[in-house]
Chain A
């Protein structure tokens, strides 16, 4: 019997994340007709403890003898695990939020990144702001979200398309410290500015509530990346105004047979489908491809990597393929706006599929980060 290992992270504000990741994989495998594959889990906390992550991966590889490991971690933690997977000649599939930008896009035959592309989405959302006529913008984020290099993606995306970042605001870490008060002054000085905003989880709730309370009726232009448009959080967020848009990685409203099946299957397990269960549902297709290639190539990792690079599959968010230079999956992204529901909360309206996603990704990977660094090891949203 084949065994797949999965490293599960936990999060204070996405409390169900490890269940979502597990259920997505389990249901995905079942949907693909593979009930006979054993899944072994290991807990990696917030994904920030190097020893815990390393030992968990080591246990899966050396004690459980898994065929491959799936892990919700970032590039930095994947880099730490790289020699272990090279030495064990096993494949690591990183489920990547895409919030950080690595200094060197690593291409190792043993590691593939399956991404939600938060930085890429942030960068495209910034371009959208320029296309909508905004030449001035402020970057708004928090202590936690601001520690990932999607900050670089969103500000560079705005400036490279002709805009100018005229102010930055990073608010506190706890709810009591959360404030957007300085935005009032900034917007008085630069009244035609868009707010390029990077928040996730509970911070989205606090941000929207604060925007509503401070700027009600003013319809401040706000641009968001995929995690700002995460539907589970939006469902409980106050609707703050009529001018909020951005780039979504996925929505329940994507009209496709694959999405319908995914939503129905996850809902039938009494879970709410979200981007985490989506990511691991998709990873089931990848995992099966890896297992097939292990068999075909007699465990030759170069041949397995080559097979994955040319692998495409249909997922609930569209067709997914790989950039061979960075071993990273590319998926469709969606131009979206936020609309109110009948209870005054938020929901997504998909407007169209974003253009030139791959070209934009290539540009992003070729960017010089100008010594910008991130110290966060955490799997994104895991605090």
Chain B
């Protein structure tokens, strides 16, 4: 029996917890590094690392990455797994060993490079996403692909729901990869097909904003789901006010209103879309706070003339 491979995991927080638990249970982990992260999460990880005799190091900012190579040299892991680690690893760190660094990207590669593929696949109305295991090079998400492990996106999945699902799936994928490294003589991998690649920048307001005149009802629902909860909803203008729509569903009722205007309200606020369909807003965030559509309606005497 060959000695168990020692894996150092670099992570960005909660998303990696299930994978850390499973890898630790199967005795693969030798050390954990965390990039950025809240004090609560760093403290919790450090405690766990101490209790289990794992190495531990926090990397709060880009500057601290300069200490990483010395730390890795001291630990001497067989492999380094990156799970949502927020910083790019420099050549000096990657020089620790060729094909020793494996990133688990929460989206299919090469099509969904970038920091928030979960947002992008939901916004683009994909029906399937993947966790991509790939060797790392000095550019974000560009090393050779080992595999894309697919996972179905279900109707109604929000950013939050899909993140939890991916985090659970990631645990098994990371363990499978550890086993692959443990037992395999050769890890099959392929360079990324650059003709199919796309790098999505971190979304800004132009990506999270509902354009009532140009977007169909289904596109709007997908954007709302893609923004819940990380952006506190999709940004929109309604009745001249900036709001964020947190939860809404498709209302398959035709209308003759201008896109972005209120058609009717009941327990939901029903908004006209450009494809003659409507979306029914359930929960939103306004200057007064997060509220249901009914609570929002009570704040707006101007809605008195609209059918309900």
Q: Of A79, A80, A88, A108, which is within 8 A of B188 by CB?
A: A88
In B150-202, which residues have CB < 8 Å from any A CB?
Answer: 150, 152, 172-173, 176-177, 179-180, 182-189
In A113-131, which residues have CB < 8 Å from any B CB?
Answer: none
A30 part of interface (Cβ distance < 8 Å)? no
* Interchain CA distance A82-B176 in the complex, whole Å: 7
A residues contacting the other copy or chain, number (CB 8 A): 20
- The B interface is mostly helix, strand or loop, or mixed, namely mixed
Task: Name the segment of A20-28, A48-56, A66-74, A244-252 touching the other chain.
Answer: A48-56
Minimum CB–CB distance for B108 against chain A, Å = 11
* Interchain CA distance A58-B150 in the complex, whole Å: 21
B265 part of interface (Cβ distance < 8 Å)? no
* Interchain CA distance A51-B133 in the complex, whole Å: 21
* Interchain CA distance A208-B245 in the complex, whole Å: 67
Residues of B within 8 A of A83 (CB): 133, 146-147, 149, 173, 176-177, 179-180
A369 part of interface (Cβ distance < 8 Å)? no
Residues of A within 8 A of B148 (CB): 86
Of all chain A residues, the one with the shortest Cβ separation from B187 is A87
Question: How many inter-chain contacts with C-beta < 8 Å in the A-B complex?
Answer: 55
B2 part of interface (Cβ distance < 8 Å)? yes
* Interchain CA distance A109-B187 in the complex, whole Å: 20
Q: Produce 1/0 per residue, A161-186, CB < 8 A to B.
A: 00000000000000000000000000
A107 part of interface (Cβ distance < 8 Å)? yes
A80 & B185 in contact (Cβ 8 Å cutoff): no
- Contact A62 B183, CB 8 Å, known A83-B133, A83-B146, A86-B149: no
* Interface, chain A (partner B; CB < 8 A): 50-51, 54-55, 58, 61-62, 79-80, 82-84, 86-88, 104, 107-109, 302
* Interface, chain B (partner A; CB < 8 A): 1-2, 133, 146-150, 152, 172-173, 176-177, 179-180, 182-189
Listed by A's residue number, 25 A-B pairs whose Cβ atoms lie within 8 Å are: A50-B179, A50-B183, A51-B1, A51-B2, A51-B183, A54-B180, A54-B183, A55-B183, A55-B185, A58-B185, A61-B188, A79-B176, A80-B179, A80-B183, A82-B176, A83-B180, A84-B180, A84-B188, A86-B147, A86-B148, A87-B146, A87-B147, A107-B152, A108-B149, A109-B150
For the complex of A and B, list the 6 residue pairs with the smallest distance between their C-beta atoms, beginning with the closest.
A86-B147, A54-B183, A87-B188, A87-B147, A83-B176, A51-B183
